[in-house]
Amino acid sequence: MTMEAIRRIARQRLGYRSPVYRLAAQTLTDGMTLWREGLATYRQIARLRAAAGDGGKPVAIQFRSLQHPLYLRPGTDDLNAALNNIVRREYGYQPPPHASPKVMVDAGAYIGDTAVFFLNRYPSITVHALEPNPESRAMAERNLAPYGDRVNLIPAALSTTVGSVLFGGTEMGARIGEGGEFEVATTTLPTLLRRIPEGHIDVLKMDIEGAEMELLSDDVSGWMPHVGLMIVETHGPEITEKLQEVMASQGWQATLRVLRQRARAPSRWKEIPSVLTRILRHDALEFQSLYADHDDVELFRAWLRRVLQGPEAPYIENDYPMQLVDKHLGLYSYRFLRLFTDFKAWTNLRPKLNNATDVRQYYEDHAICSTFIRNERLEKDLATLLCDIGMKTTAEELLREKVNASQHRPYSEYYDNELVELVRNKDALICDVFRYDLLGQEAH
């Protein structure tokens, strides 16, 4: 059972506001911070928490997973937002339809924490970040400035019309409303799409404090067909139901992930999760298109990039995502280790496997199988194995009885230089053990 699963069970049984749950949740988050970000970052965060009552200037936190520091204000929602996005990776469980997304719209960017997460995860992405709150936008501008022209920070709220609305509140609770304290500009998704050269949004994230109901009640046909992945925080069951209805009408699939609950007592919703994240993606047919033609080299390359992109690839199952080894150990190398090593040692040794050399040494120390029969060299490997156990034969003799006349095409037809480097980085173990030469004609 993962730490996030434990967190969800505790929240359901103890309640979001329970002191016991909050202590346990912080302990889990602290443990995850140490695991993913290291002791130095953990100490920086501890000092920021200690300064919560002092106000003061924003503090630069250097997360190990980020290229640049993230500035957070003591005593505000900033730290929780950063931990949810950077450490817990709340929005990282469902990847975009394409392995290298180009365009993201972040509606409700707050201090830029979500945008920073995606900018670091996907080097090719450009983020259009909308934040109408001047105080939060100032922080977002500071945090996003190091990413240069990969970011377009827009001082506007997302709405159904271009104009202005009243806006009020502070930090993560700021929202559009009649009781707002000042006016802010508004823009629409069709307007943004016209200004985006690609004319398509690979990732649309919306956390707009209830204003999503207005967007979903309006005509969505002008923008939804041009979106690859939607990540939406819904505020209340009525909005969640409306979201389901609209998605179904547009032929989308929805994956529901409960991230946190906020009690609104007194409220008729107090026993219902009021903040849900719905991660929505296109119909599975788009996925299946990668398998449409086994002779199409470009489809193969697109499929392999998605498999190797990271631990949240759509068809990566079981516990691989929680092993936190995806930077130097691909899915197939991980499966190989599960099958062909004494995996009981994995639990103790996994934190020490920091590179391909460590992984190879672990395999050599704990391997339980010494001989493999590979599809690419089926006859030769089988003949070698039979000879080892005293049955004299050759690959040529085995070929006489061959029924399947298909031929293995050279690796160089499938793997371009980018894929070769990606495979060498993620699945060096398999390449080494099986002596694969991806630019050659066959395995050695």
Residue 37, in any domain of the structure: no
Model pLDDT for residues 293-315, shown as the tens digit of each residue: 777 888 888 878 777 764 444 44
Model pLDDT for residues 238-253, shown as the tens digit of each residue: 777 787 788 777 777 6
The answer to whether residues 225 and 131 belong to one domain is yes
Mean pLDDT check: name the lowest of 166-180, 191-205, 209-223, 329-343.
166-180
Could you give the number of structural domains in the chain? 2
The answer to whether residues 315 and 403 belong to one domain is yes
Model pLDDT for residues 12-46, shown as the tens digit of each residue: 565 555 666 667 777 778 888 888 888 888 889 88
The answer to whether residues 393 and 345 belong to one domain is yes
Buried b (16+ CB within 10 A) or exposed e, 370-389: eeeeeeebbbbbebeeeeee
Closest CA to 94 of 296, 230, 199, 251: 230
CATH code of the domain containing 163: 3.40.50.150
Residue 34, in any domain of the structure: no
The answer to whether residues 238 and 339 belong to one domain is no
Reported residue count of the chain is 444
Structural domain of residue 361, as residue ranges? 296-434
The answer to whether residues 262 and 323 belong to one domain is no
Of 282, 313, 336, the residue that ends a domain is 282
Q: What is the pLDDT of residue 191?
A: 92
Looking at per-residue pLDDT, the higher value among 203 and 391 belongs to 203
Which are the contacts of 430, defined by CB distance < 8 A and separation ≥ 6?
A: 332, 333, 336, 436
- Determine the Cα angle at 127 with ends 123 and 130, to 5°: 160
Q: At 441, list the tokens.
A: 């004609």
Phi, psi (5° rounding) for residue 232?
-125, 130
The answer to whether residues 155 and 124 belong to one domain is yes
Coil, strand or helix at 132:
coil
Distance CA 430, CA 427 (A): 6
Percent of the residues in the chain that have a pLDDT greater than 70, as a whole number: 68
The answer to whether residues 300 and 250 belong to one domain is no
Say whether pLDDT at 278 is over 70. Answer: no
Say whether pLDDT at 169 is over 80. Answer: no
Model pLDDT for residues 367-423, shown as the tens digit of each residue: 888 777 766 666 677 777 677 777 766 656 655 555 555 555 677 778 888 888 888
Coil, strand or helix at 105:
strand
Say whether pLDDT at 147 is over 80. Answer: yes
Distance CA 179, CA 201 (A): 32
The answer to whether residues 211 and 333 belong to one domain is no
Average pLDDT (195-212) is 85
How far does Cα 129 stand from its chain's mean position? Answer: 18
Closest CA to 233 of 196, 214, 250, 208: 208
Residue 113: which pLDDT band, with cuts at 50, 70 and 90? very high
Say whether pLDDT at 134 is over 50. Answer: yes
- For residue 291, the tally of other CB atoms under 10 A from its CB is 11
Residue 184, in any domain of the structure: yes
- The rounded mean pLDDT for the chain is 75
Average pLDDT (345-349) is 73
Q: How many secondary structure helices (H) and strands (E) does the chain include? A: 18, 13
Residue 126, in any domain of the structure: yes
Q: What is the pLDDT of residue 232?
A: 84
Q: What is the pLDDT of residue 201?
A: 92
Q: What is the pLDDT of residue 194?
A: 92
Percent of the residues in the chain that have a pLDDT greater than 90, as a whole number: 18
Closest CA to 93 of 279, 248, 353: 279
